[in-house]
Amino acid sequence: MKFLLQVLLAVFAAAQASTSGHLPKVDVKITSAGNTAIRASITNIGEYDLSIKKLNSLFDSRNVRKIDVNATADGTPLVFEGSSIVPSHRTDAGSWLRIAKGDVFVTEFDAADLYDLSPGGNYTVKAEGTAFIEPPTAYTDLQLNYSSNTLYIQVDGAEAAKRKAAGLSATGRLVTRAEIGADCSDEQKGKIRQALHYCRLMAWSGARGAEDADERFFYYFHTFERVVRDHVRCKFLAVAEECQERPGKSWFTCLDSQLQCQYNTLAVTNPRTGLITLCDFAWQLRLVYTNVCHDDDLATTLIHEMTHVNGLHGSATNDVYRHDKWPKCKDLDWFRSVNNAETYASFAQCKSPARSPQLPRW
């Protein structure tokens, strides 16, 4: 029996070694490029060429969450204030970054575009995350996990504040949102107003669902705890309030002045400013689906985006990697579910009275 166990353990170890040997690998080094500027060098150290999906990762050229920043003094993580991206289900050639075996990809970005570093002082910076690998590939796993060195930076707060102010000015947030952006056409404004109407109804329905805490609530949020239900309910009520067309914390633009609508993106939200950019793909969506769950529509997209805005009942939600679309959004534990935008959007969409009363199949 002991011999058999040893054989099985040896076979298992060999299988593990074989599998780990066929995982995509990159070496990530980050260095300072001056004050809050960061340079990342990514080397493909694996066995094969890589085609990496750029979306919401270190490889994305937009102001998405590329790094984590902590205060050196007490290790407190800073709140991410960059862009939150809602992808469509489609990709094109521009959605992928190709790095041949042994080649190096270098990218630069500014941490002050992603976090508030205006207080200045000492911080630690690290790039850690996952990205999707395009098939077909010889690798046995289509997920690339990467982790960089820890970088220590000393920040000039005044310079970081200037960078932040320039970003706010570039988004046009110095103009308060009295109504939908003037850069939207009359047709686009009409669609937004109708989608806001449905967004409000769906958010109210989501709030009632959190209060009732039925089987569907547990299906998405994995708990019946009162404190979680109250948080979800209040988040939906804040979204419903925000979906009324009047001055609030969010505002819309139909002009992609910051070139954020890449890689077939539906919409982009800046949590700090409340600016929601509706991309070209968003106008191809129906305003609302009436008889199915988990399909893209404009009203559900607005709910997703609204939860990303800071100050709508607490801090902004995130897009948990690989859980930012259905069906993966239902696989999170309750703690991550209440911080994941797509979980709110999917729950509200399927709780809407216009939807089928049946629970989704799984």
At 29-77, the pLDDT tens digits run: 999 999 999 999 999 999 999 999 888 889 998 888 899 999 998 889 9
| Helix (H/G/I), strand (E/B), else coil: 161 | helix
**Residue 304 annotated in ligand binding:** yes
Reply yes or no on whether 225 is catalytic. no
Q: What is the DSSP letter of 141?
A: -
Q: Are 240 and 313 in contact (CB under 8 A)?
A: no
Tokens of residue 60, six digits? 């994305």
231 labeled part of a ligand binding site: no
Say if CB 274 and CB 84 are below 8 A apart: no
Instruction: Give 360's DSSP letter.
Output: P
Q: Which tokens hold the place of 279?
A: 């991309």
Total-model pTM: 0.71
Number of C-alpha atoms within 13 angstroms, CB side, residue 299?
A: 27
Task: Tell me the domains of the chain and their CATH numbers.
Answer: 23-161 (2.60.40.2970), 186-351 (3.40.390.10)
Give per-residue pLDDT as tens, 244-294.
Answer: 876 678 889 998 888 888 877 899 998 888 889 999 989 988 888 666 677
Q: Pull the structure tokens for residue 290.
A: 């009436």
Asked if residue 308 belongs to a known ligand binding site, the reply is yes
- Residue 126, classed as helix, strand or coil, is strand
Strand partners, 131: 144
CA–CA separation, 174 and 195 (whole Å) = 25
Distance CA 202, CA 338 (A): 17
Q: Which position among 108, 187, 245, 305 bears the catalytic label?
A: 305
Q: Is 151 strand, coil or helix?
A: strand
